[in-house]
């Protein structure tokens, strides 16, 4: 099932008298439950794309569809609800609240907006998440008493506390040494498998791109590669169709794609 779809998305930022075209017409679909990497060098448009998927920013043209909702058709109030109920966020700089301890930081998103976790289950759910990210011993500590890797674990638990379907992580390992970064990614992948949460993370670290099921590679605001489970997904909708035909015939053992192998709806 497609959970996120970008259709010919463009983003232009005004910069004084000129305009910067950060994203120049990007189309791709992401499947529910996948572990997705948006990869590319600095300035390629990773953050801009994640911000549009995260409904923090709107495209200048084209559309972003989250769980069947085109974000451009939603009123601000509905966009906020979609954000709160469907999305969780992990940031490069952790963004924890310094005066709150680990447990309180994780609980914090539950205090904003509508509750998705019943009050009676809340304490147990938070305890479960603290255990899941390996911080049981640290639950009463403040962020400044934690290492970078531990802070990012808090941020992962906080992103999951509202039970989002999608977690967005913009360079979640950029402020960590490489072995801690790999541990954090492995933890995200474990949670992705266990809870079936879709993770979308950006990175320019080739090592962690390798852990993804689906890699969207960007350069200068364009998709230069779109590979899911080793199969090229193309970029435009037309390409997607052709590749689905090729995939189907490959599965059926025939080398030459034939129109009779065209995918059926929902396949």
Ligand X SMILES: Nc1ncnc2c1ncn2[C@@H]1O[C@H](COP(=O)(O)OP(=O)(O)OP(=O)(O)O)[C@@H](O)[C@H]1O
Please give the residue ranges that form the binding site for Mg ion (CB under 5 A).
46-47
Count Cβ atoms within 10 A of the Cβ of residue 203 and give its class: 0-12 exposed, 13-18 middle, 19 or more buried. Answer: buried
For Cα atoms 103, 106, 110, give the angle at the middle one, nearest 5 degrees: 115
What, of ligand X, Mg ion, none, does residue 204 touch, CB below 5 to 8 Å by kind? ligand X
Query: Could you give the 3-state DSSP secondary structure of residue 220?
Result: coil
- Rounded least distance, CB 221 to Mg ion, Å: 13
Count Cβ atoms within 10 A of the Cβ of residue 142 and give its class: 0-12 exposed, 13-18 middle, 19 or more buried. Answer: middle
Interface residues with ligand X (CB under 6 A) are 13, 15, 20, 22, 40, 42-48, 204
Residue nearer to Mg ion on the CB measure, 59 or 234: 59
Residue nearer to Mg ion on the CB measure, 105 or 203: 203
Residue nearer to ligand X on the CB measure, 32 or 204: 204
What, of Mg ion, ligand X, none, does residue 40 touch, CB below 5 to 8 Å by kind? ligand X
- Rounded least distance, CB 8 to ligand X, Å: 17
- Rounded least distance, CB 64 to ligand X, Å: 15
- Rounded least distance, CB 150 to Mg ion, Å: 23
- Rounded least distance, CB 24 to ligand X, Å: 10
Q: 12 Cβ partners below 8 Å, 6+ apart? A: 19, 20, 21, 22, 60
For Cα atoms 198, 3, 203, give the angle at the middle one, nearest 5 degrees: 50
Residue 11 token pair: 């983003």
What, of Mg ion, ligand X, none, does residue 44 touch, CB below 5 to 8 Å by kind? ligand X
- How far is the C-alpha of 58 from the C-alpha of 102, rounded, in Å? 32
Residue nearer to ligand X on the CB measure, 41 or 113: 41
């Amino acid at each position: 099932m497609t959970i996120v779809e970008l259709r010919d998305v463009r983003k232009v930022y005004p910069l004084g008298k000129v305009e910067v075209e950060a994203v120049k017409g990007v189309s791709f679909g992401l499947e529910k439950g996948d572990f997705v990497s948006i990869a590319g060098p600095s300035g390629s448009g990773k953050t801009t794309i994640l911000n549009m998927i995260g409904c923090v920013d709107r495209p200048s043209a084209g559309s972003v569809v989250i769980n069947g909702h085109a974000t451009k058709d939603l009123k601000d109030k509905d966009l906020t609800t979609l954000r709160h109920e469907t999305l969780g966020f992990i940031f490069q700089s952790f963004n924890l609240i310094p005066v709150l301890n680990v447990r309180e930081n994780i609980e914090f998103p539950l205090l904003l907006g509508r509750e998705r976790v019943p009050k009676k289950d809340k304490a147990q759910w938070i305890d479960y998440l603290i255990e899941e990210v390996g911080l049981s011993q640290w639950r009463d500590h403040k962020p400044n008493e934690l290492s970078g890797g531990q802070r990012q674990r808090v941020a992962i638990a906080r992103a999951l506390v509202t039970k989002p379907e999608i977690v967005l992580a913009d360079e979640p390992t950029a402020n960590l040494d490489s072995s801690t970064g790999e541990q954090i990614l492995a933890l995200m992948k474990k949670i992705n498998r266990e809870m079936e949460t879709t993770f979308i993370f950006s990175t320019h670290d080739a090592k962690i791109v390798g852990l993804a099921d689906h890699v969207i590679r960007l350069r200068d605001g364009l998709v230069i590669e779109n590979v899911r489970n080793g199969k090229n997904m193309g970029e435009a909708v037309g390409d997607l169709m052709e590749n689905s035909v090729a995939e189907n015939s490959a599965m059926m053992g025939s080398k030459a794609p034939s129109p009779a192998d065209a995918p059926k709806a929902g396949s």
